[in-house]
Homo-oligomer: A and B are copies of this chain.
Amino acid sequence: MAVVEALAQVAALLADRTRAAFCSALLDGRAWTATELARHAGVAPSTASEHLTRLVEGGLLAEHRQGRHRYVSLAGPHVAELLESMTAFAGPGEKPRTLRAASASEALARGRTCYDHLAGQLAIALKTGLLELGVLTADLAVTRHGLVWLGELGFEPSKRQVSRACLDWTERVPHVAGAAGAHLCGEFLRRGWVRRIGTSRAVVLTSRGEHGWRDLGLLG
């Protein structure tokens, strides 16, 4: 019964609109200040402060104080995976109403970061390429050959699970998370192959990136 209690508690943390908005914003993998989140969610700073305290105590967020700022971020990849799987379950939802909202959600569907890896159509394209190259199996496990291939891109195995399926909530099929997904995303950003759009989670494949992917055999 203690387990039930714990389940209800973690669910309660996300059951509030404002806290859910905080977590959703933090899915971009970066650290936000308390005020930024308050403005983002449209609540008073005092309200945001209390919510953040609860989320940190609940283990969903990590905080890190610096001078007069309180930076918060997701407590780890496991939190991101939990959030994505819940969002995927919650489903596509209804269509956006305004033109502004429509173009924003379209950009997100095209490509975005999901904590530390890629998501959206871009991630599915990447997965397809990796499948064709024989880096991944159909169940998204990395093959022996795949490990060599990843190694050439600077990947080094750690104690973290190499590959992990993460259900994409816009495409409704799994994309690649785990250590490999995180490494690829980081490498693409570092090389300028993938670039963030403004300050949002949305990303695009640059023309340099398209070139790079083609050279690696990921496209076509």
Q: Which residues of B contact A140 (CB under 8 A)?
A: 139, 141
Q: A90 touches which one: B1, B10, B24, B90 (CB < 8 A)?
A: B10
Q: Which of A59, A101, A139 has the most CB of B within 10 A?
A: A139
Q: Does any Cβ of B come within 8 Å of A158's Cβ?
A: no
Separation of A142 and B137 alpha carbons in the complex (Å): 9
Q: Quick check: B15 and A15 within 8 Å, CB to CB? A: yes
Q: Mask for A1-20, Cβ within 8 A of B = 1, else 0?
A: 11111111111111111011
Least distance between A148 CB and chain B CB atoms (Å): 16
Separation of A86 and B9 alpha carbons in the complex (Å): 10
Least distance between A164 CB and chain B CB atoms (Å): 7
Q: Which of A3, A20, A101, A137 has the most CB of B within 10 A?
A: A3
Separation of A20 and B87 alpha carbons in the complex (Å): 18
